[in-house]
Structure 1
Amino acid sequence: MKLPLAFRLAAATLLMLGASLASRAAEVQVAVAANFFAPMKAIAAEFEKASGHKAMLSSGATGKFYAQIRSGAPFDVFLAADEETPDRLDKENATVAGSRFTYATGKLVLWSARPDVVDAKGEVLRSAKFAHIALAAPKLAPYGAAAVETLTRLGLLAQLEPRFVQGESIGQAFSFVYTGNAELGFVALSQVWENGKLKSGSAWIVPAQLHSPIRQDAVLLARGKDNAAAAALIAYLKSDAAKAVIRSFGYDT
């Protein structure tokens, strides 16, 4: 049975449109600081719906990503946990000039997976009620550096340092607390916070004056200069839709 001409023309048009969209769609390789992995997964899904491009995410410590990028790792976009590392890459001509911007300001939190451990003022830090406290390695992860700065300002660093359990990234620090290998630990608020409330356990949001601001910068890397998906992702991260997701995880934008 021969199909009507109008139907055949419509089908051909749809095939051509699909091929055109497929040819314009591209992938972008994204290095994401561990603290931002959960919100970035949500943003990546919406980005793909809106643009047709696919964001391939890798999560880890900011310091480790820096070393990988300088060694030629195939990343197009870098979402760091600080502003210093992207600035350093800028100065080393490893980025697209003028692409760097602050996508979020993070918050440090002292968290326990148990509901009865961390009090609302963080006084548990002065107690002997725990044997281990987790944090990210301060030389690799900005949230780890913020934790050490907080303890220093509280006059507790020397007292608590023997109880440290250090993770390579804030993701590992969270894992230590979540699995019970540490009774409590310093993690990113975004890891335990969603839609305006604590997901589980007990927590003390560390006052901002106890550590330097955790401004998190994104940058288009030199490898992504001619990648349409990379440029589109950078633009999407500045959109109201992306900012709404970022704020829902406890960040400031």
Structure 2
Amino acid sequence: MGAVQADEVQVAVAANFTAPMQKIAVAFEKDTGHKAVLSFGATGKFYAQIRNGAPFGVLLAADDETPARLLKEGMGVAGSAFTYAVGQLVLWSSQTGVVDGKAAVLNELASGQRSGKMALADPKLAPYGAAAMQVMNKLGLTSRLRPHWVTGENMGQTFQFVKTGNATLGFVALSQVLVDGKISTGSAWVVPAHLHDPIRQDAVLLKTAQTNPAAQALWQYLRTDAARAVIRAHGYQF
């Protein structure tokens, strides 16, 4: 596609999906000529910004509820929401030997046997934070772990808390710690799916961009084999 025909779309992307979307955006521009301008952050904040007129054309949320709400409120194109990825939650420490395969460290923190901070994303803004809350509730540890919490505004900030050592461990997205299909550093517990609701991440085309060729093209591109290969390589399911 020639440069004359190229268009641009502003895309709001859930922070947990940063790495795969950066790669997808490069391939998208190469394959279509269109450009995706990416903003990363918390789904809850993007919802508020869209309600207030932010010029996004596509939202890649960290849940399925926010796109559904935007459709119900008339801000999304009817029938355009679809699940582009299903996320996986992981309890991760940048240090080796902290987190084992049964997450005994959570009990150690809760009982006072271990000191340190535990990071999670704001459950009111970030679906991965809400999933972390469900895990702690099911394990019966929420009230005893609460004094150890350090709360990130989104998954990017939450990951940084753990990566820099400001938190000993934290609940992050598997995609944030996966390199070439393996958890690259530190120690981790991939949270069993039965401990929280599925993290279905939906995309929705927003009405402000329903006539924007780049927005239409990106909406379609996310379901191509090329995009899905990147998504799968970063630890997401469908």
Structure 2 residue 91 is matched with structure 1 residue 110: yes
TM-score normalized with structure 2 length: 0.97
Which residue pairs with 1:249 in the alignment?
Answer: 234
Aligned residue runs from structure 1 range 67-106, under 5 A: 67-106=48-87
Which residue pairs with 1:237 in the alignment?
Answer: 222
Structure 2 residue 201 is matched with structure 1 residue 220: no
Aligned counterparts of 1:47 and 1:158: Cα–Cα separation in 2: 45
TM superposition outliers: structure 1 runs of 4+ over 3 Å: none
Kindly provide the amino acid, as one letter, of the partner of residue 204 in structure 1: W
Question: In structure 2, the residue corresponding to 1:50 is in which secondary structure?
Answer: helix
Aligned length: 234
Which residue pairs with 1:192 in the alignment?
Answer: 177
Kindly provide the amino acid, as one letter, of the partner of residue 111 in structure 1: W
Larger radius of gyration: 1
Kindly provide the amino acid, as one letter, of the partner of residue 170 in structure 2: G
Kindly provide the amino acid, as one letter, of the partner of residue 160 in structure 1: L
Aligned counterparts of 1:195 and 1:78: Cα–Cα separation in 2: 27
Aligned counterparts of 2:190 and 2:26: Cα–Cα separation in 1: 29
> Is the 1:194–1:250 Cα contact (8 Å) retained in structure 2?
no
Deviation at 1:116, TM superposition (A): 1.6
Structure 2 residue 103 is matched with structure 1 residue 122: yes
Gaps of 5+ in 1: 1-19
Alignment deviations for residues 123-165 of structure 1 (CA, whole Å, 9 cap, x no partner): 1111132321000000000000000110000010011011100
Aligned residue runs from structure 1 range 1-253, under 5 A: 21-127=2-108, 128-253=113-238
Question: In structure 2, the residue corresponding to 1:49 is in which secondary structure?
Answer: helix
Which residue pairs with 1:12 in the alignment?
Answer: none
Aligned counterparts of 1:184 and 1:55: Cα–Cα separation in 2: 33
Kindly provide the amino acid, as one letter, of the partner of residue 23 in structure 2: A
**Which segment drifts farther, 229-238 or 128-137?**
128-137
Question: In structure 1, the residue corresponding to 2:185 is in which secondary structure?
Answer: coil
Deviation at 1:195, TM superposition (A): 2.4
Which residue pairs with 1:5 in the alignment?
Answer: none
Kindly provide the amino acid, as one letter, of the partner of residue 59 in structure 2: F
Alignment deviations for residues 11-59 of structure 1 (CA, whole Å, 9 cap, x no partner): xxxxxxxxx8122101110000000011000010111110011110000
Aligned counterparts of 2:28 and 2:81: Cα–Cα separation in 1: 19
Taking only the aligned residue pairs, the percentage that are identical comes to 63
Deviation at 1:106, TM superposition (A): 0.2
> Is the 1:74–1:223 Cα contact (8 Å) retained in structure 2?
yes
**Which segment drifts farther, 234-243 or 124-133?**
124-133
